[in-house]
Copies of this chain bind each other. A is one copy, B any other.
Amino acid sequence: MLRLSGQPTMRASDATAAILKFRKGEIIYAQGDRVTDWYRVVSGTVRTCIIYPDGHRQLTGFYYSGDVFGVDRERHASSAEAVTAVALTVYRADSAATAPRSEADSRSGMLHSALNNAHACISLLGRRTANERVAAFLLATARRMGGRGALTLPMSRIDIADHLGLTIHTVSRTLSEFSRRGLITLDGPQTIEILDSDSLSGLADSHDADQPHPSCFAPRNLATANGA
């Protein structure tokens, strides 16, 4: 997961050597921009977001050190903004395939990583209740940010709300409730410690834990293949 090895790789002819820096709140690229580069976070946190015609904002991901974002074709489907001060490495979108130094640097490796991120987002939005979404978000964030001890959430309540499809009020209330129940401690808005991750993951996948969906038992006949 880490791979913050290649800090400034500084080779003369290497297209990926540039390091870009942005201050908190700055826009890295805008929704609809032509895709020229893909990015990897060196330090800091980035968010990608889609703005719908009605002004509603959907955050499609947070990206931490080592994560890749901006992996679109033609035009960026979302905008990318610096949640904190960030440093990025840049990959030319049209040359990322050439001579990858690792699987994670290859064109398809980056695409798979983007796909994984999209699935993570779907998995959050697919959950039903605020408790489920917030619990799942906390666990996922703790996992991705490293994690023993206190967790520093780099993003605001608004960002969390727009990521989970909730309002800031509900996010705030839910976190307070978790704290009251002894699942987490809140030390200021940004600092959270997970005390009982078992209960949290129980909450994340709760919804009465009834029997698995019937479709698990669908027939699975594979004998009807026709050769070409």
Contact = CB atoms under 8 A, between A and B. Distances in A.
A102 interface: no
B228 A10 contact: yes
A223 to B, nearest CB: 7
Contacts of A52: 123, 126-127, 205
B122 A228 contact: no
14 contacts: A8-B225, A10-B227, A30-B220, A49-B215, A51-B215, A54-B205, A55-B207, A57-B215, A58-B123, A58-B126, A60-B119, A71-B115, A81-B215, A97-B108
Given A11-B228, A73-B112, 13 more contacts: A4-B220, A8-B228, A9-B228, A10-B227, A19-B228, A22-B224, A50-B126, A52-B126, A53-B205, A54-B205, A58-B123, A71-B115, A126-B165
Interface in A39-95: 49-58, 60, 71-73, 77, 81
Interface size grouping (class) on chain A: 35 or more
A27 interface: yes
Contact of A18 (B17, B115, B209, B227): B227
